[in-house]
Amino acid sequence: MPDANERLLRRRAERLAIPEQSTAVDPTALTVVEFLLDDEHYAIELRHIREIVPFRELTPVPGVQEAILGVVNLRGEIVALLDLRRLFALSPQAADAESRLIVLRSAEMEMALLADQVVGVRVVTLHNTLNTLPTLSGYRQDYLLAITPERMTILDGGKILSDPRLVVG
């Protein structure tokens, strides 16, 4: 039988212990990179992103889809640069010091997206999200994964990477 000191220490330890937290993974949780186009918040799932780099010198490519600005050289790799502003019919804006290239990668394709600014990485759950809006059409609807209650549009990186309309070459 424990003595009085042991009982006292056990009670004190129980009182001071940090409650056990659940380690269950929410299957609807996504880790995304949030970025801005105009004042609109967009995101792409982190698993589709190879890297994020500052805007680099661009080489235009004639005869490609209008939303393809051209190609950029990333450490010797030539990667097509997609302007989501053009694709989504947003107001044009020149790249500046805040602009970033979000480089997407799949087994078959690699491409960079031009973002006005990268906000950061966050985890979002797909609870209470919308998967369509009556006002969306065209590419915005094609690439939509979800819209959060905070009005952040989560784009489907896999669909962007597999879209034959965006292939350069």
**Which residues are CB-contacts of 131 (< 8 A; sequence separation ≥ 6)?**
144, 145, 146, 147
Q: Is the dihedral of CA 128, 129, 130, 136 positive or negative?
A: positive
Note whether 124 and 30 are within 8 A (CB): yes
Give domain status of residue 15, yes or no. no
Whole-angstrom CA distances from 90 to 31, 85, 87 are: 26, 5, 8
Give domain status of residue 51, yes or no. yes
> In the predicted model, what is the mean pLDDT of the chain?
86
- Could you give the number of structural domains in the chain? 1
Give domain status of residue 16, yes or no. no
Note whether 42 and 36 are within 8 A (CB): yes
Which residue range(s) make up the domain with 111? 23-166
Tell me the pLDDT tens digit for each residue of 72-89.
999 999 999 999 999 888
Give domain status of residue 130, yes or no. yes
Give domain status of residue 5, yes or no. no
Give domain status of residue 50, yes or no. yes
Tell me the pLDDT tens digit for each residue of 103-125.
999 998 999 999 999 999 999 98
Give domain status of residue 9, yes or no. no
Give domain status of residue 4, yes or no. no
Residue 2 confidence (pLDDT): 62
Which CATH number belongs to the domain containing residue 104 in this structure?
2.40.50.180
